[in-house]
Chains A and B, each alone.
Chain A
Amino acid sequence: MYIVIAGAGRLGLVLAKKLKEDNHQVCLIDKNESLCHRLAGELEGVLTIAGDATYPEILKEAKIEKAVVCVSATSRDEDNIIICNLAKELFNVRRTVSRVNDPKHLPLYQYMKVDNPVDSISIVARIVEEEASFTDVVRLLSIKRGRLSIVRVNIPETAPVANKSVKDIKLPPNSVLVSILRGTEIVIPSGNTKIFSGDEIIAATLIDTEKEVIKALVGKI
Chain B
Amino acid sequence: MKYIVIVGCGKSGRELAFELSKTDNVVVVDRSLKALESLGDDFNGKKLWGDALDINTLESAGIKEADAVFLLTGNDNINLVVGKVVKRKYETKGVILQVNDITKKRIFKEEGLTIVNRTYLIVEVLRKCLA
* Chain B: number of interface residues, binned into ranges: 20 to 34
Residues of A within 8 A of B (CB): 54-57, 76-79, 81-82, 85-86, 89-90, 102, 104-105, 107-108, 111-112
Determine the distance from Cα of A104 to Cα of B57 in the docked complex, in whole angstroms: 10
Q: Which of the candidate stretches B5-13, B40-48, B83-91, B118-126 sits at the interface with the other chain?
A: B83-91
Q: Give A74 Cβ to nearest chain B Cβ, in Å.
A: 10
Main secondary structure of the interface of B (DSSP, over half): helix
Please give, as numbers and ranges, the residues of chain A lying within 8 Å of B82 by CB-CB distance. Answer: 108
Interface residues of B (CB under 8 A from A): 51, 53-56, 75-78, 80-82, 84-85, 88-89, 101, 103-104, 107-108
Residues of A with C-beta under 8 A to B55: 104, 107-108
Residue from A57, A82, A86, A105 within 8 A of B53 (CB atoms)? A105
Expressed in whole angstroms, the minimum distance between the Cβ of A72 and any Cβ of chain B is: 11
Give 29 pairs: A residue, B residue, CB < 8 Å, sorted on A.
A54-B76, A54-B77, A54-B104, A56-B103, A56-B107, A57-B103, A76-B77, A77-B53, A78-B75, A78-B77, A78-B80, A78-B81, A81-B77, A82-B77, A85-B108, A86-B107, A89-B107, A102-B54, A104-B54, A104-B55, A104-B56, A105-B53, A105-B54, A108-B85, A111-B85, A111-B89, A112-B81, A112-B84, A112-B85
